[in-house]
Structure 1
């Protein structure tokens, strides 16, 4: 009986690439026993890959996390993806802020035009009245462009708040027929101010200053 002969093959690899990546792919190929897979002809469009054979694209793209360098690479890719997402988000935010600024400027022009039309008496047909009503509803939903705050007005806070309240309440008053409950004014005014809310005491003090500042 001939003696059993064993062979030992030594492979020496020298390269400038990442050694951990190379060994990771080598181990992946050994576990998949790629040499036992019969290479199939290039599949036509819509044909799936034969069972047991890993897709070529998946093998080419998949990068196993092996060793410290693999972990560092994964962290680097994660930071790059996060940075790209953050950059895209800021671009969308800048575009939104630019568009919002234009809309607020347009709303201010519409408000001034509506106040000018309200001060002049003219015969209007039903279509013009409906358009005016739509404009009033739009302006009430947009809110106040630059609400007066204690930080910006300082000691003149209540005086400037009184003027802004008088300017704001003209449209709701006209819509309500010339009379409104103070509670409704408080709710509408705070909704228009957004996050810069005022207290009921501030509203009362602003209303009490109307006689002094002559808002009529």
Structure 2
């Protein structure tokens, strides 16, 4: 990955952000647990300013929720929550790629090809950092398709329901065969778009999104069975 210049302050914020996110993924921080600035500052032996900025970013991405007068709390997703999000994504993003397949410009197709190549090259690595990088590239892949659909309304709807933890948690829990299947589906979505075939593209997109659901549900600590809390 290309290195970018950063100040010690931004480096500290990024380091804390990644550490907290990894702890949420691995269950170190429980669902509905409050994360306090002072406690995290002691844990990471760092000032509260980068902690505060990391927490703000995690709230904006859906990892944490800000509770008035109480602080930031780890979001707990129930099985019903996850099922609903995956089903909505499968419907909306299938529609998005159906539109994008006949509208995408050559430069956008080239970007998709680059993202697919990059994900495939990372998928053989077993480090959790590689999984996080794949999740970031995956988000860019889906966002490129969404933007190419040419529907600001559809884009707003998808962005309103897609939470970063849903995708990242799925990749974090994939076994080797699930990762290989995901890479194959990305490649097939790209091929369908290159062929200008909206029906093919939509069918693969729906399968791709729904196939991630079992991995998201799989955890050492099962998701709650109840509905919204």
Structure 1 and Structure 2 fold alike (TM over 0.5)? no
- Structure whose alpha-carbon radius of gyration is higher: 1
Question: Whose strand proportion is higher, 1 or 2?
Answer: 2
TM-score by length of 2: 0.20
Q: Relative CO higher for 1 or 2, CA cutoff 8 Å, sep ≥ 6?
A: 2
